[in-house]
Amino acid sequence: METGLFALPWVPVNIGGSDLLAKAWFGDTQYRVLLSDLNTVWDEEMTAGDIQSRAQARTYNTAAI
């Protein structure tokens, strides 16, 4: 994954009026996303289990509303 992600080019994106650079790698059971404003890099990596846990937590929170 590391080699694949770092070989990818940065892509300009605008999120909520903020200009950022992004790159993402998606595998069969995980993903990793990097976002940067050229001062900071934000990183998120999740496996299939992490994604399932997040989805269940959000479903629970939505049901409570």
DSSP character string of 22-49? EEEEE-SSEEEEEEE-SS-EEEEEEEHH
**Other Cβ atoms closer than 10 A to 63:** 7
Tokens of 29: 């059971």
Domains of the chain: which residue ranges? 2-63
Tokens of 54: 């997040």
Q: pLDDT tens for residues 7-62?
A: 999 999 999 999 999 999 999 999 999 999 999 999 999 988 888 888 888 776 66
Contact criterion met (CB below 8 Å) for 14 and 29: no
Specify the CATH number for 2-63; select among 3.40.630.30, 3.40.50.10420, 2.170.210.10, 3.20.10.10.
2.170.210.10
**Other Cβ atoms closer than 10 A to 16:** 5
In this predicted structure, the answer to whether residue 65 has a pLDDT above a threshold of 90 is no
Reported pTM: 0.71
pLDDT score at 32: 94
